[in-house]
Amino acid sequence: MIANEIFLNRAGILRPAEAIGQRIYFGDSQQFATIVDVAKNFNVNSLHQKIDPTLIQVVPNNFYQANIKLQSEKRDAESLQSALAHIEKAWLAIFPNQVFDYSFLDETLAEAYRSEKRTAQMIEVATLLAVLIACLGLFGLATFTAEQRTKEIGVRKVLGASIASIITLLSADFLKLVLIATVVASPIAWYAMSGWLQNFEFKIQIHWWTFALTGLLMAIVALLTVSFQSIKAALRNPVKSLKSD
């Protein structure tokens, strides 16, 4: 049989070379198999679980399924059905009394993480809606602010303020709000994601730059959203803004 590295650690074997030739007894302790090789650790279960001690042995009398690798070329429905028909014919010729049933490995793996994919899709949709609503709110608030500060902008332009300085003036307040929102939301997001990742034995590390990059992207989105009204207000003729005074 072939043993994985975790099995050796549990058995107290320090080096793979020491395991070669050792007997492993099982069942009623009268049956045994000899270790002929050591495999690196690999997942035999979901990534939610730890890698278990694993022994791989060929026992022909216990065969109840077969794994068949199909050619990747010409992966269309017609060739797939032809391959399945050929496999079924060979199966029934060898095991005429056994039901032929099959499944695809990629579909089985996808089913194991269907809930995670569904959660990811829900988060993506919710994020897009939240960003859209936030942008609409920012656009409305920028329009309202620009209208309220029309006279102030006119006075600043008369006194020599540049268009860039006026755009910066109108955009700075919104960027401050984005910065505050990022500071408040980042710890909450980190806590939520860390809790979710605890469900996996193998997981990534959440780095600080992820939140910094997210905050930067949100600032860019906010800046693009309010820039239209800011530029429009900055280019407005100050004479029209101040003529009522």
pLDDT bracket for residue 8 (50, 70, 90): very high
For 12-16, 58-62, 121-125, 179-183, which range has the lowest pLDDT when averaged over its residues?
A: 58-62
Percent of the chain with pLDDT over 90: 18
Residue range 145-157: mean pLDDT, rounded? 75
pLDDT bracket for residue 241 (50, 70, 90): low
pLDDT of 122 higher than 90: yes
- Is-above-0.85 flag for pTM? no
Percent of the chain with pLDDT over 70: 95
3-state secondary structure string across the chain: CEEEHHHHHHHCCCCHHHHCCCEEEECCCCEEEECCEEECCCCCCCCCCCCCCCEECCCHHHCCCCCCCCCCCCCCHHHHHHHHHHHHHHHHHHCCCCCCCCCCHHHHHHHHCHHHHHHHHHHHHHHHHHHHHHHHHHHHHHHHHHHHCHHHHHHHHHCCCCHHHHHHHHHHHHHHHHHHHHHHHHHHHHHHHHHHHCCCCCCCCCCHHHHHHHHHHHHHHHHHHHHHHHHHHHHCCHHHHHCCC
User: What pLDDT score does 242 carry?
Assistant: 60
Q: Would you kindly state where each structural domain of the chain is located, as residue ranges?
A: 2-63, 68-112, 113-242
pLDDT bracket for residue 129 (50, 70, 90): very high
